[in-house]
Each structure stands twice: as structure tokens, then as C-alpha cells.
């Protein structure tokens, strides 16, 4: 959860009318960053001079759109689930913790 920039609360991705990411959805600009360089979701802040400001209307940080490639969100689940990255790493961290060989985990 340390790497997370926010919680994804809805399964929606993009609004079919506006073609903009849904708030709190899987492509949310508030969590992952803006779709357009240096422009918030609502359009209150446009241009590089507002870099680093978080919009008080929509909550989107005014920054480069490439941050969307790096930022992560999280989804709270009812039961714990292990991410696939921990199974595919070498050495296998889950197998090591449980004392089970990697071949038996697959």
C-alpha cells in the first residue's frame, strides 16, 4: 500500500459520453495522474505554470501524463490475495516463505 496513490472503488473505466476516465474507477485521473499534460480533469488548471498543484475541484495533480505509467492504485479485497509478481520472481518469495519448492506452486 506504500506505492499506492489511492484506492480504486469502482469497476468503471471510461465515461462513454465524455471519453474521460471515471472518478474512482480503474483509469481515475485523481489516482493515476492526468490524461493530458499539465491539465486537470475539470480544466480549471491548464499549462505548465501550475505544475505540482492539486486541483481543489477535481483533486487531480497538474503534472505530465507519463506519470500514469508509473503510478499504482490499490483495491481492498475481502480476503488477501497474493500478486502474481511474487510467484514469478526468482527466487520465488512465496515458496521460500512457505517452504514449498517453486515447481509445486505452479
What pLDDT is recorded for position 41? 96
pLDDT band at 106 (very low <50, low <70, confident <90, very high): low
Tell me how far CA of residue 87 lies from CA of 65, 71, 73, 95, in angstroms: 31, 22, 20, 8
The mean pLDDT of 60-89, rounded to a whole number, is: 89
What pLDDT is recorded for position 91? 74
* Residue at grid coordinates 498543484: 53
Sequence-separated (6 or more) residues with CB below 8 Å from residue 69: none
pLDDT band at 62 (very low <50, low <70, confident <90, very high): very high
pLDDT score of 64 more than 70: yes
Amino acid at each position: 500500500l506504500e506505492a499506492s496513490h489511492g484506492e480504486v472503488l469502482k469497476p468503471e473505466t471510461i465515461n462513454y459520453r465524455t471519453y474521460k476516465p471515471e472518478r474512482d474507477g480503474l483509469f481515475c485521473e485523481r489516482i493515476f495522474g492526468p490524461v493530458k499534460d499539465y491539465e486537470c480533469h475539470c480544466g480549471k488548471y491548464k499549462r505548465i505554470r501550475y505544475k505540482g498543484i492539486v486541483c481543489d475541484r477535481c483533486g487531480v495533480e497538474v503534472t505530465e501524463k507519463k506519470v500514469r505509467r508509473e503510478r499504482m492504485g490499490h483495491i481492498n479485497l475481502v480476503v488477501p490475495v497474493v500478486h502474481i509478481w511474487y510467484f514469478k520472481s526468482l527466487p520465488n518469495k512465496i515458496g521460500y516463505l512457505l517452504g514449498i519448492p517453486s515447481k509445486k506452486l505452479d
